[in-house]
Amino acid sequence: MRKRAVLVSRYPYLMSANHNNRVFLARLAGTAVFDPNGDPVGKVRDAVATLRANNQSPRILGLVVEVPLRRRVFVPITRVTSIESGTVVITGLLNMRRFDTRPGEILVLGEMLDRTVTLIDSDESVIVEDMGMDQNRTGDWLITKVHIMRRGHGLRRKGATSTVAWEEVTGFAFAELNQGVTNLLSTLSKLRAADLASVLHDLAPKRRVEIARALDDERLADVLEEMDEAARVELLAQLEGERAADVLGEMDPDDAADLLREVGQERAAALLELMEPEDAQDVRRLMNYEDYSAGGMMTTEPIVMTADNTVADALAAVRQSEISPALASQVFICRSPLETPTGRFIGIAHYQRLLREPPATLLGSMVDTDTQGLKPEASLNEVSSYLASYNLLSVPVIDGNDRLLGAVTVDDVLDHLLPDNWRHDHRDMSLTAEVLNSEELRNDLSREV
């Protein structure tokens, strides 16, 4: 879990007593960046945000960090574990590709500061001096405050300064996206990934690509996972190489492997070279297996713990929002190392059993050793029969040395059992009337939803 970021400074408006996780971004410029071992990585040069419709607080996507040789790279905000006086600490491997802004992105320091904006209540023109970001309950960082300077009067060149809420100013409209795309994005933002994939299928090809390019990597990855094969291959082909590689890196490894199998060997090899090494390694391993085998369907990122972990540790892991319900139903107990391929597979701790045991109970005392798992060569029929026979939501995949390679979930099996066009045929009829009847959607659909 990420720590709340705190920045302490001599600047009096930097932090509010009631908002101890607020960070004013201009003060981050030049701040040293360190890895978890305390080794210097580079320095912060800017922050990347995305504007939202209806004057909602912009979301911070990440930081621009200057590494040696004056190369500027992008660090997702999810990789930032702490921001304290004079230091920013990040985790994970750095993507060393040179940073470039994408449609829908804006540099906070480079493009938002020193702008003239208007106070909504008084219609007064003011200058933006800084932007304050806060972390909300879901872990997202949003720009919630704007530090402004009023125009001076008489001989005074500078006027009074103050900090106001984002909603109190206007004038941050940018032209990276045309208004139609902006409005359409606002309309579609309330949809679940599966429903957004369905709507994208019905958009004109040009608008479909515009929307895809404007979505952030994680959102687009979720949508691609919900599209049928032909549509997602076509959409991926419209993305530039580095963007496509970043989106693939956000996808579940098994879904990324399935997609790369469909784009052709030459294109797949090129995209794998552009992906971060850790992500590419998992995907390459999965591509070695047949598509309809246990190895081809499995995810390489199940929840894995040792017998010495406690029930409290396990429950904390399954509570993570990014873990799917099927994977959260079971914790796989193995010997170290815990990264797949793991040490020797011991057994499974089931979620319902976890709920019945005291938090301090060791997982080794409640592990189910009856589930032995399947080999990666097991067929689709074998996997589905195993899940049905033992009433499981996921089944471990084990190699010849009893190491855990991954897990096949029931939704992975259904993806392969259902007809090819099942995604297009299935529409969530709970789509709101506002979405279905929106002017932007009616104007952009190439055929009736």
Give 189-209 pLDDT, tens digit per residue.
778 888 888 888 777 787 788
Residue 321 pLDDT grade (very low, low, confident, very high; cuts 50, 70, 90): confident
- This prediction's pTM: 0.60
pLDDT at 7: 31
How far apart CA 226 and CA 221 sit, in angstroms, is 9
pLDDT at 422: 60
How far apart CA 263 and CA 59 sit, in angstroms, is 32
Give CA 210 to chain center in angstroms: 20
Give CA 347 to chain center in angstroms: 30
Task: Answer yes or no: CATH 3.40.50.720 is held by domain 304-417.
Answer: no
Per the structure block, which two tokens stand in for 133?
Answer: 């970001």
The residues of the chain that CATH labels 1.25.60.10 are 179-296
Question: What's the mean pLDDT in 389-411?
Answer: 92
Q: What's the length of the chain?
A: 449
Of all residues in the chain, the percent with pLDDT exceeding 90 is: 42
Per mean pLDDT, which of 273-277, 316-320, 360-364 is the most reliable? Answer: 360-364
pLDDT at 99: 86
The residues of the chain that CATH labels 2.30.30.240 are 23-110
Least confidently predicted of 137-151, 190-204, 364-378, 392-406: 190-204
Instruction: Tell me which architecture the domain covering 179-296 has in CATH.
Output: Alpha Horseshoe (1.25)
Per mean pLDDT, which of 18-32, 42-56, 403-417, 428-442 is the most reliable? Answer: 403-417
Of all residues in the chain, the percent with pLDDT exceeding 70 is: 83
pLDDT at 173: 66
Residue 157 has pLDDT above 50, yes or no: yes
Q: What's the first-to-final CA gap in the chain, in angstroms?
A: 40
Q: What is the pLDDT of residues 322-350, one digit of tens each?
A: 788 889 999 999 999 999 999 999 999 99
pLDDT at 174: 53
How far apart CA 414 and CA 73 sit, in angstroms, is 39
The residues of the chain that CATH labels 3.10.580.10 are 304-417
Residue 60 pLDDT grade (very low, low, confident, very high; cuts 50, 70, 90): very high
- Look at domain 23-110 and name its CATH class: mainly beta
Residue 169 pLDDT grade (very low, low, confident, very high; cuts 50, 70, 90): very high
Is the pLDDT higher at 201 or at 155? Answer: 201
Mean pLDDT for all residues in the chain: 82
Least confidently predicted of 365-379, 389-403, 407-421: 407-421
pLDDT at 424: 53
